[in-house]
Structure 1
Amino acid sequence: MNISNITINSHSSVKLAGSAVVYSDPFQVTDASHDADLVLITHDHYDHFDPESLDKVCKDDTAFVAPATCIDEVQGYAGDRQAIGLAPGQQVLIDGVRIQAVPAYNKTKAFHPKANAWLGYVLDLDGTTIYIAGDTDNLKENTAIDADVALVPVGGTYTMDAKEAADFVNALNPKVAIPMHYGAIVGNPTDGDLFEDLVNKRITVVRKLFV
């Protein structure tokens, strides 16, 4: 998959445009594209599960994947459309895209408890493995993920900050790292700069969020 086909319109709102069009946590979407084959929801906070944005990206046959702990809410939005709930470690194949659920939580902060079983996702799309971390701290258990591209939060407060995210990415060692979740609701516009400075130069940092 070409990196140019990965976009972030805001915060952690990711679009992957390949043989399937995949959105993760669409939020503050302005264009009514109605092109989503698949929508991934990492958890049900308002900035990750945004019905107004979903209305703009979804179509009649869009499929949804969400944490099993949030699936009732997501299915309530999806209606008759397919909605699959996953727990960490589970996986599913939809529209030729393999999706693996991985943990996403805070180790000491109360915002994203491990007990909630909220998620990040690892996708295999068009020969590229893409890790979308969700709202998470630097979790040692996730450094074993084999990803070509890693999209990670860097804004701090509710997630890793820029230094913690850089440490995590350096251990993960993807080919490409993309910072997100900064400069709007939380974090500063400069968090992306600090992250890029601290990531090992063997890893290419690509900026997709401009704030």
Structure 2
Amino acid sequence: MLEFITINEHSSIRIDEGKVIYSDPYNISSAAHDADIILITHSHFDHYSLDDIRKVMKSDTVIVCPTSVNEPKELDLSVKQVTAGEKFEVLGVRFEAVPAYNIGKPFHPKSNGWLGYIIDSSAHGRIYIAGDTDITPDNKQVKCDIALIPAGGTFTTDAVQAAELANAIRPKYAIPIHYGTVAGSPDDGEKFRKAVDSCIEVVIKL
């Protein structure tokens, strides 16, 4: 199910969308060097890892990151810095940047301008990568077909809160991420599945 989406671990996502798109590559075990586009949601070590970017990048890879993230000039790659609400295109793929932040937690302040992304795919519909976030007025307005939502708690939504967000935005498919290693436990995916409305198909990739 949804074989074109792979979760390495945590929030490390690979999407083969004709163009190969990585989001927050982390703990990459083999150097595939196949990334056309790399999305960075924010600057925490488990989301913005230069060592892991080097394992997936090619000479012509384009990196997309928030304007608040320091441009990785040492990689000698093309970098597009974007802000929340911005719609843009990279290598023929359309994207939208969505605010990602905590409410009542100190880890991801809204003022940092950190992001999630929507990939607007002609083949698979709108794919929402939520980034490190709580349920917010911004992400409750997202329209998507596939949603990848953090479920590990502590720094983000936990499994039940992630399901609440999925139930609010009602994608066709929901995939829990960001649990089992840096945050959360391996059974958070099943907790998420049980709390998601039956009209939404939950796909466990971790």
Scaled by the length of structure 2, what TM-score is found?
0.97
- The one-letter amino acid of 2:160's match is K
Q: 1:114 aligns with which of 110, 131, 147?
A: 110
- Tell me the alpha carbon deviations over residues 104-135 of structure 1, each in whole angstroms, 9 at most, x when there is no partner: 00011000000000000001123321000000
2:142 & 2:26 partners in 1: Cα distance? 26
Between Structure 1 and Structure 2, the one with more helix by share is 1
Are 1:154 and 2:179 an aligned pair? Answer: no
Q: Structure 2, unaligned stretches of length 5 or more?
A: none
Q: Which residue of 1 is the match for residue 61 of structure 2?
A: 62
The answer (yes or no) to whether the contact 2:118–2:128 under 8 Å persists in 1 is yes
- Tell me the alpha carbon deviations over residues 49-107 of structure 1, each in whole angstroms, 9 at most, x when there is no partner: 1111111100000001100011xx2332432x210111100121011111110000001
Are 1:179 and 2:180 an aligned pair? Answer: no
Q: Call closer, same or farther: CA 1:27–1:108 in 2, change over 3 Å.
A: same
Q: Which residue of 2 is the match for residue 86 of structure 1?
A: 82
Secondary structure of the equivalent of 2:141? coil
2:78 & 2:85 partners in 1: Cα distance? 20
Are 1:169 and 2:146 an aligned pair? Answer: no
Q: Which residue of 2 is the match for residue 124 of structure 1?
A: 120
- Tell me the alpha carbon deviations over residues 125-170 of structure 1, each in whole angstroms, 9 at most, x when there is no partner: 2332100000000113212211110000000000000111111100
2:138 & 2:185 partners in 1: Cα distance? 28
2:199 & 2:137 partners in 1: Cα distance? 20
Q: Structure 1, unaligned stretches of length 5 or more?
A: none
Are 1:37 and 2:22 an aligned pair? Answer: no
- The one-letter amino acid of 2:33's match is H
The answer (yes or no) to whether the contact 1:64–1:78 under 8 Å persists in 2 is no
User: How do 1:191-206 and structure 2 match up within 5 A?
Assistant: 191-206=188-203
Q: Which residue of 2 is the match for residue 16 of structure 1?
A: 15
Root-mean-square deviation (Å): 1.1
Scaled by the length of structure 1, what TM-score is found?
0.94
1:77 & 1:133 partners in 2: Cα distance? 27
